[in-house]
A and B are shown apart, each in its own frame.
Chain A
Amino acid sequence: DTGVSQDPRHKITKRGQNVTFRCDPISEHNRLYWYRQTLGQGPEFLTYFQNEAQLEKSRLLSDRFSAERPKGSFSTLEIQRTEQGDSAMYLCASSLGRRGGNQPQHFGDGTRLSIL
């Protein structure tokens, strides 16, 4: 068990550029979540996958954001035409979902995005 892995750890880019982040969950975990966290706030839900299916997406999420989880393994989160307000820590978490409830989520180290 190598834990949840995220890449890159840091990303600095100019406003208007596209960025893509990767998350490798714990291997046996079927559920994968993306969150965004800004200073002084708790993680804010962005989207959720069960296996390869994207089952939920935050209503607050701009259409500039898209996520995929091909083959139900790793996931990518892409932000198009980045804006200053996108600067945040992007966290990926995975869990083993079973009928009747969720097992705890385990987080990766996050990708810190800074928009210049």
Chain B
Amino acid sequence: QKEVEQNSGPLSVPEGAIASLNCTYSDRGSQSFFWYRQYSGKSPELIMFIYSNGDKEDGRFTAQLNKASQYVSLLIRDSQPSDSATYLCAVNEGNQFYFGTGTSLTVIP
């Protein structure tokens, strides 16, 4: 059973702070890693993807991958109220994508 685990939250941060979201996965064969943002009642929207160990930055978002620890994280700098959503971690192995249950983030103005 392939597992992707995330803290469900809720995680609350003040506006302007850094939000840190974490994800662990069970299968060492996992190849690619994705973060999606999902607003209530909407479909997941791709935020970041990362394939190699280390950090990948895109604007206010940084994805971090550590394959040895089977750990992937998402940092959101200068958090905005519009970042309030559920963040889904997804792990790809072969032809399938496995999703965590998501972390609910609230950015307090």
Which residues of A line the B interface, CB within 8 A? 31, 33, 40-45, 48, 50, 55-56, 89, 91, 97, 101-102, 104-110
Q: Is B43 an interface residue (CB 8 A)?
A: yes
Q: A42, B99: Cβ atoms under 8 Å?
A: yes
Whether B32 sits at the interface, judged by CB under 8 Å, is yes
- Nearest chain A CB to B30 CB, angstrom units: 11
Contact residues of B: prevailing secondary structure: strand
Those of B12-63 within 8 Å (CB) of chain A: 31-32, 34, 36, 42-46, 49, 51
Q: Which residues of B contact A48 (CB under 8 A)?
A: 95-96
Q: Once the chains bind, are A45 and B32 in contact (CB under 8 Å)?
A: no
Q: What's the Cα separation between A48 and B98 when bound, in Å?
A: 13
| Contact A101–B101 (Cβ < 8 Å) | no
The interface residues of chain A lying within 8 Å CB-to-CB of B96 are 45, 48, 56
Interface SS, A side: strand
Chain B residues with CB below 8 A from A43, complex form:
44, 88, 99
Q: How far is the CA of A80 from the CA of B92 in the complex (A)?
A: 30
B side interface size, CB within 8 A: 24
Given contacts A42-B4, A42-B88, A42-B102, contact A105 B42 (CB under 8 A): no
Are B44 and A102 in contact, CB atoms less than 8 angstroms apart? no
Complex-state Cα separation, A18 to B25, whole angstroms: 37
Q: Which residues of the partner chain B approach A105 to less than 8 Å between Cβ atoms?
A: 34, 46, 90, 97
User: Shortest Cβ distance from A103 into chain B, in angstroms?
Assistant: 8
In the assembled complex, the Cα of A109 lies from the Cα of B88 at a distance in Å of: 16
B49: min CB distance to chain A, Å:
5
Cβ proximity bits B84-98 to A, threshold 8 Å, 1 near / 0 not: 000010101001111
Q: How far is the CB of B84 from chain A (nearest CB, A)?
A: 17
Instruction: Please tell me if the beta carbons of A104 and B44 are within 8 angstroms of each other in the complex.
Output: no
Contacts of B88 in A (CB 8 A): 42-43
